[in-house]
Homo-oligomer: A and B are copies of this chain.
């Protein structure tokens, strides 16, 4: 008998039929004798429908009131799931984030969990009940309702797993797990059976969308095994754990693609100490976060500096960059939205030299020019032209033998 925290996302509870099917799955675990805490997101489109109501009043709603409004979505789901479990003959009880003492700071719409007081949950578990908790939400010490931002329900689940000392945290979603590459592009890409927290973190921040960075970070910090799997069938998904098996032998765990960035280049920058600091400090002040930065060492007294930002920040970033360029006596500022970042991720890279060289070689062989390079201890990223993105993903996936892992 284990204590399992399960989280069901919006697509898993999109309608009453799906809720009934989730209830059956939960009941199946209960029958096996497990203790269960189930975290649920809002029904399918609820959040969008509520936002439509708000936007018909104003484009800039108060974030406190937005949290008040949106948190109702999960409250509806948990009540319906409890009722569906009762109908199957199981004892279940639902709670809001506030009721189970998920205390957060007051950063509305993206609050951080400060602590969880799990007394009530433990009390109901002792009575043999299935405990259902509204994901994505908490409450401040001043009793204001907050929400946790993107991936908030995953975070609720992992945090509860930590507080309750659960044996396992299962994240149910609409995909089978984490794939070695996007299966919509690389058909033969395989689901990864086991992945380490670090690899998952790197993949998430490089574009894999299955799990948010925050939840994986919390899983890593408290060493909570996270099982990402589909609520649409019974197959095993991907286990995110501290040490994935055969870690040494596997060089590349996954390949990711991110087409959501724009490259900005400042030409003819005077090559003086402190000039890069000046540029990026100014950009940071506008709240634009810069991703990759490349500066070529120049033999002359001028150089080019390139960096990438997410597309939605591009216009803002170009505007401020042009202003800085003219102030420091640099040349033209060029914006290139037609780029893609292709990355390989794997703990094994640490002990396998030559991985970067192999990646560059693969791209060279298929005549794809590398515009920028960035490396971390367990990942290598290249910026290439967007039109080559899918081709590069397939070839790198195949040549590194990722599908054989």
Contact = CB atoms under 8 A, between A and B. Distances in A.
Interface stretch (A57-65, A216-224, A281-289, A348-356): A57-65
A66 interface: yes
A56 to B, nearest CB: 5
A78 interface: yes
Contact of A65 (B54, B82, B145): B82
Interface string A121-154: 0000000000000000000000111000000000
Interface stretch (A69-77, A241-249, A255-263, A297-305): A69-77
A75 B72 contact: yes
A75 B84 contact: no
A292 interface: no
A62 B56 CA distance: 35
A16 B57 contact: yes
A68 interface: yes
Integer count of this chain's copies in the complex? 2
A57 B80 contact: yes
A120 B99 contact: no
A52 to B, nearest CB: 9
Given A58-B86, A72-B75, A143-B120, A53 B65 contact: no
A61 B84 CA distance: 9
Interface in A272-316: none
A94 B79 contact: no
B72 A54 contact: no
Interface string A86-109: 110000011010110000000000
A383 interface: no
A320 interface: no
Contacts of A120: 143
A127 to B, nearest CB: 13
A264 interface: no
A311 B33 CA distance: 48
A16 B87 contact: no
A83 interface: yes
A65 B87 contact: no
A20 interface: yes
Nearest to A68: B79
A65 B50 contact: no
Given A86-B61, A93-B64, A120-B143, A54 B80 contact: yes
**Nearest 9 CB-CB pairings of A with B:** A69-B79, A72-B72, A68-B79, A58-B87, A65-B79, A65-B82, A61-B83, A72-B75, A16-B56
Given A62-B82, A68-B78, A99-B144, 16 more contacts: A16-B53, A16-B56, A16-B57, A50-B76, A53-B76, A53-B80, A54-B80, A57-B83, A57-B84, A58-B87, A62-B83, A68-B82, A68-B94, A69-B79, A71-B75, A120-B143
